[in-house]
Amino acid sequence: MVNSALFGSTMKGLVTAFVICTHLVFANLAAAQDDIAKSGPREVVAAATDNIMTLAREAPEYFDTDPERYTSAVGEELDRVVDFRGFARGVMGRYASKDRYKSLDEVGKNQLRAQLEEFTDVLRAGMVNTYSRGLLAFGGSQVELGEVDMAPGSTRVASVTQRVFGDDGKIYTVKYQMGQYRDGSWKLRNLIIENINLGEIYRGQFEAAVLEADGDLGSVIENWDDNRVQSPSTEK
């Protein structure tokens, strides 16, 4: 279980460390996408860091008069390297599993595909809005790139470790779980901050919401609020 006080600061970490760290990985890809696609996961992270910190420093100059410019830029960068659809499917868990899909008739399969696409859009919008705002609040920070751990028996799955030094002296340890796709690009599949697994937290909240809605996936997706996602607590 995760300490609630720790998560209090770490949900700012999901609005700070995730923001910084996710965007650190991704912002540089627009300018050098072909080169990055041929690079390893560590190089992707390293190449993106300087550009995203520049974005964080420059955004306050125009954000008050043109916030959409900033939010759109963040979204475009994330789209290049975040597997939002894969993340959404993971959050939906057993409700979007291959086994469930195979068990459905054609009408059910079409409905599930539509629900996955809708949830992908909803999840993306919430995460982009939340983390782009958090990035502005976080400002420029020092980052330190660590080691890369390749998954056993695979050259296409890796975790990249990074430490982010907050202005308050807090050091966030972040692990990017990344996968390499058919076009050679590396994309983010999940994020772990201070041993808090973002994908697992979202999946647990989705599961709870489905139960509360008596299995109505459409209702859950329609009413999904990224800001209400909470951590488990150690307190009993």
Contact by Cβ (8 Å): 200, 185: no
- Quick check: 119 pLDDT over 60? yes
Q: Which of 6, 12, 23 is nearest to 128 (CA)?
A: 23
Interval 224-234 mean pLDDT = 62
10 exposure class (CB count in 10 Å sphere: 0-12, 13-18, 19+): buried
pLDDT at 121 over 90: yes
Residue bearing the bigger pLDDT, 74 or 13: 74
Assess whether pLDDT exceeds 70 at residue 132: yes
Is the pLDDT reported for residue 133 higher than 70? yes
Helix (H, G, I), strand (E, B) or coil at 158: strand
- Mean local confidence (pLDDT), 190-219: 94
Question: How many residues would you count in the chain?
Answer: 236
For 51-208, strand residue ranges (E) read 142-150, 157-165, 171-180, 186-193, 196-197
The pLDDT of residue 230 is 57
Structure confidence at residue 122 (pLDDT): 96
Q: What percent of the chain has pLDDT over 90?
A: 37
What structural domains does the chain harbor? Answer: 4-228 (3.10.450.710)
- Give Dmax over CA atoms of the chain in angstroms: 55
Model confidence over 145-175: pLDDT tens digits?
888 899 998 889 999 888 888 777 888 888 8
Q: What distance in Å separates the CA atoms of residue 150 and residue 158, rounded to the nearest whole number?
A: 4
Phi, psi of 14 (to 5 degrees): -80, -10
Give pLDDT, residue 223: 94
Query: 3-state class of 153 per DSSP?
Result: coil
pTM over cut 0.85: no
Asked whether residue 25 carries a pLDDT value surpassing 70, the answer given is no
Report whether 159 contacts 148 (CB < 8 A).
yes
How is residue 36 written in tokens? 């990055």
Residue 35, pLDDT above cutoff 60 = no
